[in-house]
A and B are shown apart, each in its own frame.
Chain A
Amino acid sequence: MPKGIAVIDMERCKGCGLCIAACPFGVLGFSEQYNSSGYNVACMVQPEKCTGCTICAQICPDVAIEVYRKETAKGAA
Protein backbone atom coordinates (compact mmCIF):
# COMPACT_ATOMS: atom_id res chain seq x y z
CA MET A 1 0.00 0.00 0.00
CA PRO A 2 1.37 3.43 -0.90
CA LYS A 3 1.99 6.02 1.81
CA GLY A 4 -0.23 8.54 0.09
CA ILE A 5 -3.05 8.91 -2.41
CA ALA A 6 -3.66 11.98 -4.57
CA VAL A 7 -7.26 12.21 -5.73
CA ILE A 8 -7.68 14.40 -8.80
CA ASP A 9 -11.10 15.87 -9.50
CA MET A 10 -11.42 15.24 -13.22
CA GLU A 11 -13.91 18.03 -13.81
CA ARG A 12 -11.76 20.65 -12.08
CA CYS A 13 -8.48 19.61 -13.70
CA LYS A 14 -7.50 21.76 -16.68
CA GLY A 15 -4.59 19.60 -17.74
CA CYS A 16 -1.93 22.28 -17.20
CA GLY A 17 0.60 19.65 -16.08
CA LEU A 18 2.09 21.72 -13.24
CA CYS A 19 1.44 18.91 -10.74
CA ILE A 20 3.17 16.44 -13.05
CA ALA A 21 6.25 18.66 -13.23
CA ALA A 22 6.20 19.37 -9.50
CA CYS A 23 5.88 15.79 -8.19
CA PRO A 24 9.32 14.76 -6.93
CA PHE A 25 8.57 11.04 -7.35
CA GLY A 26 7.06 10.94 -10.84
CA VAL A 27 3.74 9.72 -9.50
CA LEU A 28 1.55 11.83 -11.76
CA GLY A 29 1.14 11.87 -15.52
CA PHE A 30 -1.43 12.66 -18.18
CA SER A 31 -4.25 10.15 -18.41
CA GLU A 32 -5.88 9.13 -21.66
CA GLN A 33 -9.10 10.68 -20.40
CA TYR A 34 -10.69 14.00 -21.31
CA ASN A 35 -13.17 15.81 -19.10
CA SER A 36 -16.36 17.56 -20.22
CA SER A 37 -14.39 20.75 -20.99
CA GLY A 38 -12.04 18.80 -23.26
CA TYR A 39 -8.95 18.95 -21.06
CA ASN A 40 -6.61 15.97 -20.92
CA VAL A 41 -6.61 15.41 -17.19
CA ALA A 42 -3.77 14.30 -14.93
CA CYS A 43 -3.87 11.03 -13.01
CA MET A 44 -1.63 8.85 -10.87
CA VAL A 45 0.45 6.79 -13.28
CA GLN A 46 2.69 5.32 -10.57
CA PRO A 47 0.43 5.35 -7.50
CA GLU A 48 2.72 3.06 -5.52
CA LYS A 49 5.39 5.82 -5.33
CA CYS A 50 3.13 8.44 -3.70
CA THR A 51 4.25 9.61 -0.27
CA GLY A 52 1.38 12.02 0.36
CA CYS A 53 3.71 15.03 0.46
CA THR A 54 0.95 17.34 -0.95
CA ILE A 55 3.32 19.20 -3.30
CA CYS A 56 0.99 18.48 -6.25
CA ALA A 57 -1.97 19.89 -4.33
CA GLN A 58 0.02 22.97 -3.23
CA ILE A 59 0.95 23.75 -6.82
CA CYS A 60 -2.38 22.89 -8.48
CA PRO A 61 -3.90 26.18 -9.73
CA ASP A 62 -7.42 24.77 -9.79
CA VAL A 63 -7.53 23.17 -6.34
CA ALA A 64 -8.41 19.92 -8.08
CA ILE A 65 -6.28 17.64 -5.90
CA GLU A 66 -7.05 16.16 -2.50
CA VAL A 67 -4.33 14.22 -0.74
CA TYR A 68 -4.72 11.35 1.70
CA ARG A 69 -1.89 9.97 3.80
CA LYS A 70 -1.60 6.62 5.50
CA GLU A 71 -1.87 6.76 9.26
CA THR A 72 1.15 5.37 11.02
CA ALA A 73 1.49 4.04 14.55
CA LYS A 74 2.87 7.44 15.65
CA GLY A 75 -0.20 9.22 14.33
CA ALA A 76 -0.40 11.24 11.14
CA ALA A 77 3.10 11.16 9.67
Chain B
Amino acid sequence: MPMVETRIPEGYTKVFTRPEALSDAQYTYCPGCHHGVITRLVAEALDELGIRGRTVGIAPVGCAVFLYRFFNCDFVQAAHGRACAVATGLKRANPDLVVFSYQGDGDLGAIGTAETVHAANRGENITVIFINNQIYGMTGGEMAPTTLPGQRTVTSPGGRDTRLMGYPLKVSEMLAQLDGPCYITRQSVHDARHVGLTRKAIVQAFRNQLEGKGFSLVEVLAACPTNFKMSPEQGNTWVVEKAMKAFPLGDLKGA
Protein backbone atom coordinates (compact mmCIF):
# COMPACT_ATOMS: atom_id res chain seq x y z
CA MET B 1 0.00 0.00 0.00
CA PRO B 2 1.69 3.22 -1.05
CA MET B 3 2.21 6.01 1.40
CA VAL B 4 -0.15 8.88 0.61
CA GLU B 5 1.93 11.57 -1.03
CA THR B 6 2.18 14.71 1.04
CA ARG B 7 4.54 17.48 0.15
CA ILE B 8 6.88 18.33 2.99
CA PRO B 9 8.37 21.83 2.77
CA GLU B 10 12.12 22.18 2.81
CA GLY B 11 13.94 22.38 6.12
CA TYR B 12 12.10 19.49 7.78
CA THR B 13 13.67 16.20 8.81
CA LYS B 14 11.86 12.95 9.39
CA VAL B 15 11.91 12.14 13.10
CA PHE B 16 9.52 9.22 13.18
CA THR B 17 8.90 6.60 10.55
CA ARG B 18 7.90 2.96 10.14
CA PRO B 19 10.63 0.58 11.34
CA GLU B 20 12.39 -1.41 8.63
CA ALA B 21 11.57 -4.68 10.33
CA LEU B 22 7.87 -4.10 9.63
CA SER B 23 6.58 -5.02 6.18
CA ASP B 24 4.17 -2.84 4.23
CA ALA B 25 1.25 -5.11 5.12
CA GLN B 26 -1.68 -3.51 6.89
CA TYR B 27 -2.23 -4.86 10.42
CA THR B 28 -5.28 -7.07 10.82
CA TYR B 29 -5.84 -5.83 14.38
CA CYS B 30 -9.02 -3.95 15.30
CA PRO B 31 -8.97 -0.14 15.54
CA GLY B 32 -7.37 1.00 18.79
CA CYS B 33 -5.85 -2.42 19.62
CA HIS B 34 -2.65 -2.21 21.62
CA HIS B 35 -1.20 -5.16 19.72
CA GLY B 36 -0.27 -2.74 16.95
CA VAL B 37 1.93 -0.64 19.22
CA ILE B 38 3.64 -3.68 20.74
CA THR B 39 4.30 -5.24 17.32
CA ARG B 40 5.93 -1.97 16.24
CA LEU B 41 8.06 -1.86 19.40
CA VAL B 42 9.38 -5.37 18.73
CA ALA B 43 10.23 -4.32 15.16
CA GLU B 44 12.01 -1.21 16.46
CA ALA B 45 14.02 -3.34 18.89
CA LEU B 46 15.15 -5.61 16.01
CA ASP B 47 16.19 -2.53 14.03
CA GLU B 48 17.98 -0.93 16.96
CA LEU B 49 20.03 -4.03 17.71
CA GLY B 50 20.58 -4.77 14.00
CA ILE B 51 19.56 -8.42 14.35
CA ARG B 52 16.73 -8.64 11.83
CA GLY B 53 18.70 -10.88 9.46
CA ARG B 54 19.21 -13.62 12.05
CA THR B 55 15.95 -13.34 13.93
CA VAL B 56 13.21 -15.93 13.85
CA GLY B 57 9.91 -15.04 15.44
CA ILE B 58 7.32 -17.50 16.65
CA ALA B 59 3.77 -16.43 15.85
CA PRO B 60 1.06 -17.58 18.26
CA VAL B 61 -2.53 -18.53 17.74
CA GLY B 62 -4.74 -15.56 18.47
CA CYS B 63 -5.07 -12.04 17.16
CA ALA B 64 -1.35 -11.93 16.34
CA VAL B 65 -1.50 -15.09 14.23
CA PHE B 66 -0.70 -13.12 11.05
CA LEU B 67 2.48 -11.72 12.60
CA TYR B 68 4.59 -13.35 9.86
CA ARG B 69 2.91 -11.00 7.38
CA PHE B 70 3.72 -7.90 9.39
CA PHE B 71 7.42 -8.55 9.98
CA ASN B 72 10.29 -8.48 7.51
CA CYS B 73 12.01 -11.41 9.23
CA ASP B 74 11.64 -15.17 9.35
CA PHE B 75 8.71 -16.63 11.23
CA VAL B 76 7.35 -19.93 12.39
CA GLN B 77 3.67 -20.33 13.17
CA ALA B 78 3.43 -22.59 16.20
CA ALA B 79 0.54 -24.78 17.28
CA HIS B 80 -1.67 -23.15 19.88
CA GLY B 81 0.34 -22.42 23.03
CA ARG B 82 3.47 -24.24 21.88
CA ALA B 83 5.49 -21.17 20.89
CA CYS B 84 8.00 -21.54 23.75
CA ALA B 85 8.53 -25.22 22.89
CA VAL B 86 9.13 -24.37 19.21
CA ALA B 87 11.44 -21.53 20.26
CA THR B 88 13.40 -23.94 22.46
CA GLY B 89 13.95 -26.29 19.53
CA LEU B 90 15.00 -23.50 17.16
CA LYS B 91 17.39 -21.94 19.63
CA ARG B 92 19.00 -25.22 20.65
CA ALA B 93 19.39 -26.39 17.06
CA ASN B 94 20.87 -23.07 15.96
CA PRO B 95 22.20 -21.02 18.87
CA ASP B 96 23.25 -18.20 16.54
CA LEU B 97 19.63 -17.35 15.82
CA VAL B 98 17.80 -14.73 17.81
CA VAL B 99 14.50 -16.36 18.70
CA PHE B 100 11.49 -14.61 20.13
CA SER B 101 7.90 -15.58 20.66
CA TYR B 102 4.99 -13.18 20.72
CA GLN B 103 1.99 -14.57 22.52
CA GLY B 104 -1.29 -13.48 23.98
CA ASP B 105 -2.77 -14.48 27.30
CA GLY B 106 -4.91 -17.21 25.74
CA ASP B 107 -1.85 -18.72 24.08
CA LEU B 108 0.78 -18.28 26.79
CA GLY B 109 -1.35 -18.20 29.94
CA ALA B 110 -4.00 -20.80 29.13
CA ILE B 111 -3.28 -23.61 26.67
CA GLY B 112 0.47 -22.98 26.70
CA THR B 113 1.05 -22.64 30.45
CA ALA B 114 3.02 -25.88 30.71
CA GLU B 115 5.33 -25.09 27.79
CA THR B 116 5.94 -21.57 29.06
CA VAL B 117 6.61 -22.53 32.67
CA HIS B 118 9.02 -25.29 31.69
CA ALA B 119 10.85 -23.20 29.09
CA ALA B 120 11.26 -20.52 31.77
CA ASN B 121 12.33 -23.04 34.38
CA ARG B 122 14.95 -24.50 32.04
CA GLY B 123 16.20 -20.96 31.49
CA GLU B 124 16.03 -21.28 27.70
CA ASN B 125 17.90 -18.42 26.06
CA ILE B 126 14.84 -16.94 24.32
CA THR B 127 12.80 -13.75 24.44
CA VAL B 128 9.07 -13.90 25.08
CA ILE B 129 6.70 -11.01 24.48
CA PHE B 130 3.46 -11.64 26.37
CA ILE B 131 0.41 -9.52 25.58
CA ASN B 132 -2.08 -9.60 28.44
CA ASN B 133 -5.42 -8.13 27.42
CA GLN B 134 -7.49 -10.09 29.95
CA ILE B 135 -9.76 -11.65 27.33
CA TYR B 136 -9.80 -14.06 24.39
CA GLY B 137 -9.83 -11.53 21.58
CA MET B 138 -9.81 -13.49 18.34
CA THR B 139 -12.50 -16.00 19.28
CA GLY B 140 -14.99 -13.36 20.30
CA GLY B 141 -14.36 -12.20 23.84
CA GLU B 142 -14.55 -15.26 26.08
CA MET B 143 -13.18 -15.30 29.62
CA ALA B 144 -9.42 -15.86 29.80
CA PRO B 145 -7.41 -17.04 32.82
CA THR B 146 -6.26 -13.42 33.18
CA THR B 147 -9.78 -11.95 33.16
CA LEU B 148 -10.27 -9.68 36.16
CA PRO B 149 -12.74 -10.55 38.96
CA GLY B 150 -16.14 -9.14 38.09
CA GLN B 151 -15.20 -8.52 34.45
CA ARG B 152 -18.02 -9.24 32.02
CA THR B 153 -17.19 -11.39 29.02
CA VAL B 154 -19.39 -13.46 26.74
CA THR B 155 -18.76 -16.57 28.86
CA SER B 156 -19.01 -14.72 32.19
CA PRO B 157 -21.97 -12.45 31.43
CA GLY B 158 -22.57 -11.72 35.11
CA GLY B 159 -18.90 -10.84 35.67
CA ARG B 160 -16.13 -13.26 36.62
CA ASP B 161 -17.23 -14.96 39.84
CA THR B 162 -14.04 -15.94 41.65
CA ARG B 163 -15.78 -18.70 43.66
CA LEU B 164 -16.81 -20.40 40.45
CA MET B 165 -14.14 -19.32 37.97
CA GLY B 166 -11.07 -18.68 40.06
CA TYR B 167 -8.77 -15.70 40.13
CA PRO B 168 -6.71 -13.95 37.42
CA LEU B 169 -3.57 -15.94 36.66
CA LYS B 170 -0.50 -13.84 37.40
CA VAL B 171 1.86 -15.44 34.94
CA SER B 172 4.75 -13.03 35.47
CA GLU B 173 4.65 -13.30 39.26
CA MET B 174 4.54 -17.08 38.91
CA LEU B 175 7.56 -17.19 36.57
CA ALA B 176 9.51 -14.69 38.67
CA GLN B 177 9.57 -17.27 41.50
CA LEU B 178 11.60 -19.67 39.35
CA ASP B 179 15.39 -19.76 39.21
CA GLY B 180 15.55 -20.16 35.41
CA PRO B 181 14.41 -16.78 34.04
CA CYS B 182 16.79 -13.83 34.06
CA TYR B 183 14.36 -10.99 33.31
CA ILE B 184 10.62 -10.79 33.97
CA THR B 185 8.89 -7.44 33.68
CA ARG B 186 5.39 -6.05 33.23
CA GLN B 187 4.76 -2.92 31.17
CA SER B 188 1.89 -1.10 29.51
CA VAL B 189 1.39 0.98 26.35
CA HIS B 190 -1.54 3.21 27.32
CA ASP B 191 0.42 6.48 26.94
CA ALA B 192 3.57 7.71 25.23
CA ARG B 193 5.72 7.53 28.37
CA HIS B 194 4.82 3.90 28.99
CA VAL B 195 5.34 3.11 25.30
CA GLY B 196 8.92 4.33 25.79
CA LEU B 197 9.39 2.19 28.90
CA THR B 198 8.00 -0.86 27.12
CA ARG B 199 10.35 -0.27 24.20
CA LYS B 200 13.29 -0.15 26.62
CA ALA B 201 12.16 -3.39 28.28
CA ILE B 202 11.81 -5.19 24.94
CA VAL B 203 15.27 -4.05 23.84
CA GLN B 204 16.65 -5.27 27.20
CA ALA B 205 14.95 -8.64 26.73
CA PHE B 206 16.64 -9.07 23.33
CA ARG B 207 19.95 -7.86 24.72
CA ASN B 208 19.78 -10.53 27.44
CA GLN B 209 19.41 -13.16 24.76
CA LEU B 210 22.34 -11.79 22.75
CA GLU B 211 24.45 -11.92 25.93
CA GLY B 212 23.30 -15.49 26.59
CA LYS B 213 21.73 -14.68 29.93
CA GLY B 214 18.65 -16.84 29.48
CA PHE B 215 14.89 -16.57 29.52
CA SER B 216 13.41 -13.05 29.32
CA LEU B 217 9.72 -12.28 29.37
CA VAL B 218 8.12 -8.89 28.82
CA GLU B 219 4.44 -8.85 29.76
CA VAL B 220 2.55 -5.91 28.27
CA LEU B 221 -0.90 -4.95 29.52
CA ALA B 222 -3.23 -4.21 26.65
CA ALA B 223 -6.83 -3.33 26.04
CA CYS B 224 -9.18 -5.09 23.65
CA PRO B 225 -11.69 -2.31 22.93
CA THR B 226 -13.73 -4.48 20.56
CA ASN B 227 -14.43 -7.21 23.10
CA PHE B 228 -14.53 -4.89 26.11
CA LYS B 229 -17.28 -3.11 24.12
CA MET B 230 -15.54 0.21 24.70
CA SER B 231 -14.03 2.98 22.65
CA PRO B 232 -10.24 2.82 22.25
CA GLU B 233 -9.92 5.72 24.69
CA GLN B 234 -12.04 3.94 27.29
CA GLY B 235 -9.79 0.94 26.71
CA ASN B 236 -6.80 3.02 27.80
CA THR B 237 -8.74 4.09 30.91
CA TRP B 238 -9.53 0.45 31.60
CA VAL B 239 -5.82 -0.42 31.53
CA VAL B 240 -5.01 2.35 34.01
CA GLU B 241 -7.94 1.93 36.38
CA LYS B 242 -8.58 -1.81 36.32
CA ALA B 243 -5.80 -3.84 34.72
CA MET B 244 -2.91 -2.02 36.43
CA LYS B 245 -4.56 -2.54 39.84
CA ALA B 246 -4.68 -6.30 39.38
CA PHE B 247 -1.39 -6.50 37.48
CA PRO B 248 0.98 -3.85 38.89
CA LEU B 249 3.68 -2.64 36.51
CA GLY B 250 7.39 -3.02 37.12
CA ASP B 251 10.34 -5.38 36.96
CA LEU B 252 9.54 -8.61 38.77
CA LYS B 253 12.92 -10.19 38.26
CA GLY B 254 16.25 -8.86 37.02
CA ALA B 255 16.60 -5.67 35.03
Contact = CB atoms under 8 A, between A and B. Distances in A.
Interface of A: 1, 4-5, 7-12, 14-18, 21-22, 39, 52, 54-55, 57-63, 65-71, 76
B174 interface: no
Counting chain B residues whose Cβ lies within 8 A of the other chain, the interface size class is 35 or more
Given A61-B27, A69-B13, A16 B192 contact: no
B254 interface: no
Given A9-B1, A76-B13, 15 more contacts: A1-B11, A5-B12, A9-B4, A14-B32, A16-B225, A17-B32, A17-B231, A18-B236, A22-B192, A59-B191, A59-B192, A61-B31, A61-B33, A61-B36, A63-B18
22 contacts: A1-B11, A9-B1, A10-B4, A14-B31, A16-B31, A16-B232, A21-B236, A39-B31, A58-B195, A59-B37, A59-B191, A59-B195, A60-B36, A61-B29, A61-B35, A62-B31, A66-B16, A66-B18, A67-B14, A68-B8, A69-B13, A69-B15
A42 B136 CA distance: 29
Nearest to B233: A21
Contacts of B139: none
Contacts, number: 101
B196 interface: yes
B15 A63 contact: no
Nearest to B19: A63
B233 A68 contact: no
A67 B11 contact: no
Main secondary structure of the interface of A (DSSP, over half): mixed
A5 B13 CA distance: 10
Contacts of B14: 66-68
Contacts of A60: 36-37
Contacts of A9: 1, 3-4
Interface string B35-68: 1110010000000000000000000000000000
A4 B29 CA distance: 29
Which among B1, B33, B35, B37 has the highest number of chain A CB atoms within 10 Å? B37
B9 A61 contact: no
Interface string B184-210: 000001011001100000000000000
Contacts of A59: 37, 189, 191-192, 195
Contact of B37 (A21, A39, A55, A61): A61
